[in-house]
Amino acid sequence: NAGVTQTPKFQVLKTGQSMTLQCAQDMNHEYMSWYRQDPGMGLRLIHYSVGAGITDQGEVPNGYNVSRSTTEDFPLRLLSAAPSQTSVYFCASSWEVFGEKLFFGSGTQLSVL
């Protein structure tokens, strides 16, 4: 049982580059979400999805794009990377919409130079 799988684990980008962080879960969870974790800021919600074809913005959505074409996958796209997007990114899923029993991936450490 893989749970929530995030790739890559580490990534370095140059300012202006684009990339996609992958997230997949094998638990048939309807709810999936993306957080960023920054020192002194805690975890902040970027985007979330309550099911295939349905996405919505969280607290800090600017500069990021998401889609949910299947229940399993919820990729996060950085359109034009900026140094302010240097962070650790976590994907999380749960049975319930906005459920507190979140299953987190192991994170992606992203540096934008």
Partner 1 sequence: AQTVTQSQPEMSVQEAETVTLSCTYDTSESDYYLFWYKQPPSRQMILVIRQEAYKQQNATENRFSVNFQKAAKSFSLKISDSQLGDAAMYFCAYKPGTASKLTFGTGTRLQVTL
User: What residues make contact with partner 1 under the rule CB under 8 A?
Assistant: 40-45, 48, 58, 88, 90, 92, 96-98, 100-102, 104, 106-107
Any idea what the Cα angle at residue 64 is, between residues 3 and 40, rounded to 5°?
Answer: 75
Q: Residue 102 CB, nearest distance to partner 1 (Å)?
A: 7
Could you tell me the end-to-end alpha-carbon distance of the chain, in angstroms, rounded to an integer? 36
What one-character DSSP code corresponds to residue 102? P
Task: Tell me which amino acid residue 108 is.
Answer: T
Beta-bridged to residue 14, according to DSSP, are none
* SS3 label, residue 111: strand
| Cβ nearer to partner 1, comparing 19 with 88 | 88
| Cβ nearer to partner 1, comparing 80 with 106 | 106
| Cβ nearer to partner 1, comparing 44 with 77 | 44
Q: Residue 83 CB, nearest distance to partner 1 (Å)?
A: 21
Q: Residue 53 CB, nearest distance to partner 1 (Å)?
A: 20
